[in-house]
Structure 1
């Protein structure tokens, strides 16, 4: 039990701990009042030569620091009572905002701070593999191809470790984890996924036949290049194109080897394109691509290229390229403009079977010349690609 008192009675409240008791007594000595603290029934202070240090340690207990010492300090300050040097030092240290930190807490905080935070990456399926980027910088994307057997990445870290068959950058690890999650779930649809890279298991080493690196100065054949074929075909048969793309990782290959590999790749690309063009030329254009029309009843069934049209007149208009001439051509029920200078329009009239009219082409000239034209739809516009003579003028 603790009580602060003076000659005029108690001036404070009492404090009692669970296992020890601190008594503060106000006494008069030489006409001056001082605050004395002494401990009773305190096991840590009895029979010890370092009682002064244990007193200070005792004063640092949570109960003392948070309740008892501030209360004594406020009461004595209000009563204007001077305190002994030891009490002043202990109280000032206990009330100091900068306490000596616990070394165990320091180690714990450092361990928590040193724990790597998970990095989130976005994985998106693409035509040639996967695109991996950070949500903080989506514009900077890296392509991962050949996963899961022979993964390749376009990042600088992977290119610097091309000779290490067991190395996998964080982008490859994110793709591997994305593929594993798809294999474990039946509803995997290959859409964009998010993979924290620091929790990924180690990617197993590739088989011996599919390792990265170079043998005798040459890259392994299965990792030398990636080919992507894209073919575009329109329902009407007018569009039938092929795109051949090669991705050739170079890594630390010498400049001469890069040139040789590029030459071989371009040669292979040319052979593929030539074979495609030869196959399409043998098949020939479809009837819709040629713009043919069925022969009238009672006439020959030979197909005529193009479709019937009529060159109406020569006119002009202002365009982004300046004042330009054009031919008004009636194709079916639609009037189509064929732009060009006087020479080009004259060539079109000559191709329609009227060479004597071509030299006299001028703005505002009325023609009304029957012909045939081959057209091609370009968005909302119908373009004339070729002018042919009418059946009677051929």
Structure 2
């Protein structure tokens, strides 16, 4: 009997768990090592586009997520006064890209992925480090407090400040500050009824989206110096910056408590890595190609990475060849969108808003072209578990 191949995944976030499930489905013996004491994520919601949902179909999670998530329905882009610059349509998105955009809490996705793994496969509270990337003639080695693990494959899903990336590519400059910070909340807002929207102001944006469980996910971003923090608390900072913007923003801020608000500076990898592997180690997600959240594709690309890696297995050169050009292009597009929605010049903003409104009126579906080549991506393998990929459209409520 052939000996099973062993994979060690460093990082138990969305990318790491997706990789673990996908590799197990391809016959690998997998161990996940997570530094945090539990898999409960520190974060908020995540938007999944048709490209990552198709990747999740490969590991038989896609339909479950579609059922648990809110389908992002009619909404669009607004100004701080509330004027609509453009409108979106859930059916048009589903028709163009073969499926919906959905929104759910990160914890929901983490729980669904973890449920596909045996409990003994996931070890939390483990500070793991790469001791040796290995090569064709020797396994990779990972240090843990309980001893050393050997692996035929190490998957580095250890995030934007990846220690594994630094070991593999010590001369790479790593992530740089993107020029703006973000705030996020997931809270109940009694009586709130609104269409999903993103609002673009002067060097500031706000987004409000209802979740399927009745809570509201809201995020904000603003051009600020790196490492800046509010002199009092971050809810007060949001009130100062967004308190006079259109409904439902004041209601969301009124419902939020200071402890509900998460704030993080945004960093991205400006200089692409030369490869996403070395020896027997592969980088996925933010460890490989951290990007601004302006396209909502960071987690989506990590999910893609995971299923493509499982497809290539030990052929890590094939994995790099498949992923590096695509993720580099998506990351560069995210940077370009960030420059557009974080504009600070009044004249430029006026021109931008006039153009957005005119294009939306003349050709409503033209905005979807920005996701062509991104949301219509398909994984290299057919769904091997579910045997299907649901191509549904939203019901009257916009949810599945």
| Structure-2-length-normalised TM-score | 0.16
More helix, by proportion:
2
Higher strand proportion, which one?
1
Larger Rg, first or second structure (1 or 2): 1
The one of the two structures with greater contact order (alpha-carbon pairs below 8 A, sep at least 6) is 2
TM-score computed with the length of structure 1 as normaliser: 0.17
